[in-house]
Structure 1
């Protein structure tokens, strides 16, 4: 058993390699769900047949973010991810505000997926002649199973996520290969290579949906305590996850466009955004392929639920260790080496919030999913922008790493790109959550309130998160930085 677990029970145990962490974060991105849901909407409302190029643009911005994020990862020994970076660079008060914003952000995206999952399972069972049970029954059942898996050792979740991820990616890649080999109605699309097509329609909306599709890749640092060799594993997993997600989204969205043709895909995506992928797969792979894709869409959503649960639980665990949340949440299970109490707390909060949505009679897709996904998109962009700024300030102040590209140029360029994406998201935010400007303001106020709660806690309790304010040893050299 890992000594970190038995000695004080304040650290998590595990030996996750690059592959396991990549599985965890790519599963959180729910790639099949993105291709089935976000891509058709991006095509219909964004820049049409040029939409695949927006994934390339967003991936480039996030790679710039990742350069500074990874350079700083070896100087941040704690597993709190965003907020530990912000705290090291911008101070304890801003850091703790970011911590509470992160809790709200990842809780929101998990609630979004619970809503979508319940609706997807309900539709699947009814489609095959089963009983039409209410969608919350399936969401609450998933919540219970996720709670059990989150309570146990991380390796169990990693293995399950690996299997589900391979299956969902495989079915889409088969579709991609068939379209590439046989061509579409008008051959293979080249619109994503033409600047006029990329800039057509509403490219700002396209970028907004594309950047939202990457949500979850940055969670690699959350698993630092459970990584086999965190100084090498975390940076490698971050780059690999980002490149795999970006490449998969670009290829698969291009295949969907090619399958229908540049003009027809816009019409089909607008007419049936939720069903165009399954229809396309049925046409190309037969009825069996369409049926398999429907089932894997459900498993994709479950994989995302489990992955985001693990992320939130580890945020709460880290905050418990730093006295910002109950200290008991910062204890690891003696046998499983898991954040079991933080995991239970996360399950309880999800149960209560999901119960409130059900009692309010909200639609699982157009309201629960749309509102919470919009909330998470806005929150994570703010967190990444703060992290980029923290990287620049940290290295300017400490001189722990003096490489210009890693510590200044790339983070500043990433910050500029993220601020542009944030501006586009704020401008188009009402569309992302159903068109209500009042609701958009309310959601923004909720996120601001969570950030303010962390700030107030930091000011009122000087001991909160103080343990995370360690500075790197001045002799640490950038020559040791892993690639």
Structure 2
């Protein structure tokens, strides 16, 4: 039978996603994107070393409080806007279609670059690990491309499969970290247990702006719970419950884990331990408190943690593409749903190809997978998502002030406003210290905006500007398509 004859059976005529995901499954999907073990082993040592030192654990708590305030408005919006577009849709409802499309492109940038960052780190870890056990010494990007293919296969199939894979890996990651926390706690640590990380003088020491960058980056993905609305069992209850559970769970877990890291070496010794090699601080801590078996286990779970992260972001990106295609701003082909798997398979294929092409470009440019691919694009993702959440908070306030559909002041005004103020403050600190993330510093080590910093920030500006231009073009040339962008009151 020809491909033309077989094609109609490949895709379902309906464009809606379906599923029966509960709050737990959705939490697994979005928390896995935070890659718990990667954060504990990568972001935490760097936050201690080049952030605010002993006080870094407190910044996870600060970030959690701000993002919980933001989540109140996000969850309230999810009840009144029965669409899965999340930021794309919510900003459109609050500020109009043009702003919504600009937000959609910021979101696409955020999740795409953070996925690329993790692909680079995962490729590096795999290359070192395989070579270390006597395997072939291959370039990092070959391993990264192999993982892209595996993720593409899982993303093509029904999301229930991805959620089960992510659930197993996430439980294993969290379990090993909690075992480490227990070992440090029961042993009393290196200098005795204390609340030193939460003392005001330690919180504001060093470079808290850099520390906040790493802390906020650890939460990227939690806000994507609304993306899975069409695949949730009872979206009006499941999505808010999953959102609150995700942000609280992430905040408590990272605060506890990073506190244990400081206690493991002591407030007076953790900086020296991190400066020796921040990349191996977690492994050395585990070897010290859990022995060789724990160290080997952590090595394996670090790889699966990174894999879970890219798989989760792949699912988020494909659903953004699916929502944007349904709104008429991306090719209609991306809105199709697989007849058997009920997945946005066309969007999944496009995302897989995009990741492969960009990684190949990084390889040709000979970028370092950790110091450049991972660090640079993690910084882009963090600043982008803070900007996106700040705009979304403002959109929540604008929407409910205009429509009066929900008169609960805390949910529609107070919490979103407090979240907005917190996000703006965090954004200012991140920008001020941004050059330090990419190595743009003067002879004294002070941050100075150089070529790399300006290029990456220009990228963050270009995407929303491009979205606004696209919205204006669609409004002028395709008014019917413009009307589909959101059901917002005309802007």
Report the TM range for the smaller structure's normalisation: over 0.9
1:18 pairs with 19, 23, 26, which one?
A: 23
* TM-score using structure 1 length: 0.95
Q: Is 1:277 the equivalent of 2:290? A: no
Q: Is 1:105 the equivalent of 2:89? A: no
Maintained 8 Å contact 2:12/2:337: no
Q: Is 1:133 the equivalent of 2:138? A: yes
1:409 pairs with 411, 414, 417, which one?
A: 414
Partner of 2:46: 41
Q: Work out the CA distance in 1 between the residues paired with 2:194 and 2:321.
A: 46
Please state how far the C-alpha of 1:136 moved relative to its aligned partner: 1.1
Please state how far the C-alpha of 1:465 moved relative to its aligned partner: 5.3
**Cα root mean square deviation, aligned:** 1.4
What stretches of structure 2 of length at least 5 have no aligned partner? 1-9, 441-448
Maintained 8 Å contact 2:48/2:54: yes
Please state how far the C-alpha of 1:371 moved relative to its aligned partner: 1.0
Partner of 1:460: 473
Maintained 8 Å contact 1:430/1:440: yes
SS at match of 1:469: coil
Comparing 126-135 and 409-418, the one that deviates more: 126-135
Q: How does 1:147-162 map to 2 (within 5 A)?
A: 147-162=152-167
Maintained 8 Å contact 2:12/2:338: no
Cα deviations by residue, 1:112-165 (Å, 9 ceiling, x for unpaired): 011000001111112222221111111011000000000000000000000111
Partner of 1:209: 214
Q: Work out the CA distance in 2 between the residues paired with 1:410 and 1:422.
A: 18
* TM-score using structure 2 length: 0.93
Maintained 8 Å contact 1:313/1:342: yes
Please state how far the C-alpha of 1:396 moved relative to its aligned partner: 0.2
2:100 pairs with 71, 89, 95, which one?
A: 95
Q: Is 1:444 the equivalent of 2:457? A: yes
Please state how far the C-alpha of 1:471 moved relative to its aligned partner: 5.1
1:432 pairs with 437, 442, 445, which one?
A: 437
Comparing 26-35 and 100-109, the one that deviates more: 100-109
Q: How does 1:253-292 map to 2 (within 5 A)?
A: 253-292=258-297
Please state how far the C-alpha of 1:76 moved relative to its aligned partner: 1.6
Q: How does 1:124-273 map to 2 (within 5 A)?
A: 124-273=129-278
1:396 pairs with 390, 401, 419, which one?
A: 401
Please state how far the C-alpha of 1:469 moved relative to its aligned partner: 2.2
Cα deviations by residue, 1:310-338 (Å, 9 ceiling, x for unpaired): 00000000011011000110111111110
SS at match of 1:461: helix
Cα deviations by residue, 1:51-79 (Å, 9 ceiling, x for unpaired): 11111111000000001111111122221
SS at match of 2:80: coil
Please state how far the C-alpha of 1:468 moved relative to its aligned partner: 4.3
Q: Work out the CA distance in 1 between the residues paired with 2:375 and 2:278.
A: 14
Partner of 1:470: 487
SS at match of 2:407: coil
What stretches of structure 1 of length at least 5 have no aligned partner? 473-483
Maintained 8 Å contact 1:64/1:411: yes
Runs of 4+ in 1 over 3 A off after TM superposition: 5-8
